[in-house]
Amino acid sequence: MTTEKKAPARRPRSPKPAPAAEACGTCDGSGETTTTVRVGRKRREIGAIQSGLCPSCLGTGTA
Ligand SMILES: [Zn+2]
């Protein structure tokens, strides 16, 4: 006859860390892309920057 010791149920103290997500190369992980606003026929830059959702990752920042 063997005596089985029951291992105490251990609850993980911290949830498993999320696997390192690969940062999106298009937006560099920010989830946003910035485009310089150009106007006119010569596409002159007016110094304004337009930001938008990254089309590659749709704002998640991960590839
Ligand atoms: Zn992106």
| Confidence (pLDDT) at 41 | 92
Q: Which two tokens stand for residue 28?
A: 């560099």
Task: Pick the more confident residue, 10 or 54.
Answer: 54
Residue 18 is predicted with a pLDDT of 67
Q: What are the pLDDT digits (tens) for 5-14?
A: 777 778 778 8
Contact 29, 59 (CB under 8 A): no
List of long-range contacts for 41-47, beta carbons under 8 Å, 24+ apart: none
Instruction: Give pLDDT, residue 1.
Output: 66
Residue-wise DSSP of 10-48: PPPSSPPPPP-PPBPTTTTTSSEEEEEEEETTTTEEEEE
Distance, C-alpha 17 to centroid of its chain: 15
For the stretch 14-51, pLDDT in tens is 877 766 778 999 888 899 988 888 889 998 888 888 88
d(CA 23, ligand 1 centre) in Å: 8
Residue matched to tokens 């606003």: 37
The average pLDDT across 58-62 equals 91
Residues with CB under 5 A from ligand 1 (ion): 24, 26-27, 54, 56-57
